């Protein structure tokens, strides 16, 4: 009996995540994207998609060589979005594909994504693989709803949605496993996002935009962000303890998040009590700020500014918190703290600030890192001490 071929749809948002290192917190505004490209910012999404689809390239190459392996005769076909939205990458990897017949625009817009997804749905794809961030997930959700099973390759900035694998490599492992007939399930997963115009607001949490039916192996999908910014009493206690540990003339790179924002807020309150006559600089909720001697010396810093900073000072620490619910420590919303910045500072100078409630919400699972650099991710693995208050602390695993 002949086995039905599996049909895969593939859509890549080539600009997803481009705003991360630039500190933009999102990549949905095309005018900002154009400016970043002119400034020489690198498109990171194609590389992340390649990390996933290389697994399919390996399967394809083995079949061409006559090694049927676990998939037997080629049991799949790929229907790709045109040009930079998928076709170009598959050609680079020498993966045969059919291409969706839709207008090839010079830009990759939300409308392009939705149109390609709708055509793929109509053409009966069994699995729609897409690469992007929360905005892309919203577009896919609007186009296909829960009518098509999907798998997300993470490449955005914030990444609050639960329809993505923990990293691109694991997305490739899941995709290859599905093609090889390994046991998989399907889960309804949340699509969350924050409008870019609201990203600087303290009181805005991610909104639920819908659900997608997502391919799952039970262990490699990220969870959704919890809708809590860490503004309670425990976060305040932790922030005060962190400030008391700060040393004179040391530089502190403080990442985004509710718990870390408490540190910035309290430092600003302390600064306002000093009669300096100068305008006070407030920290950002979802940006990376740099503190020295209790004052903000870099607000909403981008990666280049952080790199210049770590090369200008000798004593530096990085203070970060994990995202509540999914446990991501680095690589989600704080891409400014890049692999080269991390290596320059050293992992021993990374301090994690998190409430007991946030840790409990992880259910004992390790925190995750997805910096886009496999060597850096491996380097960051290990056990870190998290101080809650004075001698009250915990040791927690990353990786």
What is the percent of the chain with per-residue pLDDT over 70, rounded to a whole number? 85
Give dist(CA 14, CA 47) in Å, integer.
9
Give dist(CA 16, CA 140) in Å, integer.
14
User: Are 383 and 325 contained in the same domain?
Assistant: yes
The answer to whether residue 223 is domain-embedded is no
Residue-wise pLDDT for 220-267, tens only, equals 999 998 865 455 788 899 999 999 999 999 999 999 988 899 999 998
Give dist(CA 364, CA 384) in Å, integer.
14
User: Are 156 and 237 contained in the same domain?
Assistant: no
pLDDT value at 205 more than 80: no
Identify which of 178, 182, 174 has the alpha carbon closest to the alpha carbon of residue 221: 174
How many other C-beta atoms can be found within 10 angstroms of the C-beta atom of residue 249? 9
The answer to whether residue 225 is domain-embedded is no
- Phi, psi values for residue 75, rounded to 5°: -110, 20
Residue-wise pLDDT for 61-119, tens only, equals 665 444 544 444 568 999 999 999 999 999 999 999 999 987 655 567 899 999 999 99
- The predicted pLDDT at position 212 comes to 98
Higher pLDDT, 280 or 146: 146
- The predicted pLDDT at position 220 comes to 95
Contacts for 179 with CB less than 8 Å, ≥ 6 apart: 6, 56, 59, 71, 75, 76
| 311-317: long-range contacts, CB 8 A cutoff, minimum separation 24 | 311/344, 313/251, 315/247, 315/249, 315/250, 315/251, 316/250, 316/251, 316/252, 316/253, 316/345, 316/349, 317/250, 317/251, 317/252, 317/253, 317/345, 317/349, 317/350, 317/351
Residue-wise pLDDT for 295-349, tens only, equals 999 999 999 999 999 999 999 999 999 999 999 999 999 999 999 999 999 999 9
Task: From 153, 184, 216, give the residue that closes a domain.
Answer: 216
> Domain containing 205: what range?
6-216
Q: Cα dist. 180→9, 48, 83, 217, 389 in Å?
A: 17, 22, 28, 13, 50
pLDDT value at 139 more than 70: yes
Q: Which residues pair with 11 in a beta bridge?
A: 130
pLDDT value at 273 more than 50: no
Let me know: does 163 contact 212? Beta carbons within 8 Å. yes
Residue-wise pLDDT for 340-398, tens only, equals 999 999 999 999 999 998 999 999 999 999 999 999 999 999 999 998 877 789 999 99
Task: From 192, 216, 240, give the residue that closes a domain.
Answer: 216
**Rounded to a whole number, what is the distance in angstroms from the first to the last CA of the chain?**
44
The answer to whether residue 28 is domain-embedded is yes
3-class secondary structure per residue, the chain: CCCCCEEEEEEECCCCCCCCCCCCCCCCCHHHHHHHHHCCCCCCHHHHHHHHHHHHHHHHHHHHCCCCHHHCCCCEEEEECCHHHCHHHHHHCCCCCEECCCCCCCCCCHHHHHHHHHHHHHCCCCEEEEEECHHHHHHHHHHHCCCCEEEEEECCCCCCCCCEECCHHHHHHHHHHHHCCCCCEEEEEEEEECCHHHCCCCCCCCEEEEEEEEEECCCCECCCCCCCCCCCHHHHHHHHHHHHHCCCCCEEEECCCHHHHHHHHHHHHHHHCCCCCCCCCCCCCCCCEEEECCEEEECCCCHHHHHHHHCCCCCEEEEECCCCCCCEEECCCCCCCCHHHHHHHCHHHEEECCCHHHHHHCCCCCEEECCCCHHHHHHHCEEEEEEEECCEEEEEEEC
pLDDT value at 37 more than 80: no
pLDDT mean over 34-40: 68
User: Are 120 and 53 contained in the same domain?
Assistant: yes
- The predicted pLDDT at position 56 comes to 92
Note the Cα 348 to chain centre separation in Å: 23
The answer to whether residue 1 is domain-embedded is no
Identify which of 151, 159, 57 has the alpha carbon closest to the alpha carbon of residue 370: 159
User: Are 204 and 251 contained in the same domain?
Assistant: no
User: Are 170 and 301 contained in the same domain?
Assistant: no
User: Are 210 and 257 contained in the same domain?
Assistant: no
Give dist(CA 256, CA 166) in Å, integer.
20
* Count of the separate structural domains present in the chain: 2
User: Are 168 and 123 contained in the same domain?
Assistant: yes
The answer to whether residue 36 is domain-embedded is yes
pLDDT value at 274 more than 70: no
User: Are 110 and 205 contained in the same domain?
Assistant: yes
User: Are 71 and 136 contained in the same domain?
Assistant: yes
User: Are 38 and 104 contained in the same domain?
Assistant: yes
The answer to whether residue 389 is domain-embedded is yes
How does residue 24 score in pLDDT terms, banded at 50, 70 and 90?
confident
Task: From 172, 187, 216, give the residue that closes a domain.
Answer: 216
Give dist(CA 128, CA 110) in Å, integer.
16
The answer to whether residue 224 is domain-embedded is no
User: Are 186 and 48 contained in the same domain?
Assistant: yes
Torsion angle (degrees, nearest 10) of CA 328, 162, 334, 390 = -40
User: Are 157 and 303 contained in the same domain?
Assistant: no
């Amino acid at each position: 009996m002949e086995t039905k071929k599996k049909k895969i749809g593939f859509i890549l948002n080539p600009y997803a995540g481009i705003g991360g290192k630039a500190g933009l917190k999102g990549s949905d505004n095309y005018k900002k994207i154009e400016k970043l490209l002119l400034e020489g910012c690198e498109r990171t999404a194609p590389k992340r998609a390649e990390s996933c689809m290389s697994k399919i390239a390996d399967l394809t190459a083995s079949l061409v060589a006559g090694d049927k392996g676990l998939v037997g005769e080629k049991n799949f076909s790929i229907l790709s979005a045109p040009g930079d939205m998928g076709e170009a990458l598959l050609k680079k990897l020498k993966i045969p594909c059919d291409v969706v017949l839709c207008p090839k625009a010079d830009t990759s817009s939300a409308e392009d994504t939705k149109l390609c997804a709708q055509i793929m749905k109509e053409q009966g794809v069994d699995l729609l693989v897409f690469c992007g961030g929360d905005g892309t997930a919203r577009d896919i959700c609007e186009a296909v709803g829960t009518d098509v099973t999907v798998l997300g390759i993470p490449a955005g900035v914030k990444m609050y949605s639960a329809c993505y694998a923990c990293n691109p490599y694991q997305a490739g492992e899941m995709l290859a496993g599905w093609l090889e007939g390994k046991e998989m399930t399907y889960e309804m997963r949340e699509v969350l996002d924050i409008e870019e115009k609201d990203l600087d607001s303290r009181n805005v949490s991610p909104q639920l935009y819908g659900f997608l039916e997502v391919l799952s192996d039970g262990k490699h999908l990220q969870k959704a962000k919890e809708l809590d910014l860490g503004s309670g009493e425990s976060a305040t206690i932790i922030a005060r303890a962190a400030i008391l540990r700060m040393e004179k003339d040391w530089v502190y790179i403080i990442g985004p998040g509710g718990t870390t924002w408490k540190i910035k807020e309290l430092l600003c309150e302390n600064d306002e009590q000093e009669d300096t006559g100068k305008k006070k600089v407030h920290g950002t909720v979802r940006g990376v700020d740099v503190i020295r001697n209790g004052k903000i010396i870099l607000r909403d810093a981008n990666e280049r500014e952080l790199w210049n900073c770590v090369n200008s000072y000798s004593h530096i620490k990085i203070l970060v918190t994990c995202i509540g619910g999914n446990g991501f420590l680095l690589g989600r919303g704080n891409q400014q703290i890049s692999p080269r910045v991390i290596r320059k500072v050293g992992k021993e100078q990374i301090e994690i600030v998190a409430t007991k409630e946030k840790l409990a919400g992880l259910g004992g699972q390790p925190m995750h890192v997805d910096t886009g650099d496999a060597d850096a991710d491996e380097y960051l693995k290990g056990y870190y001490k998290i101080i809650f208050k004075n001698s009250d602390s915990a040791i927690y695993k990353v990786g």
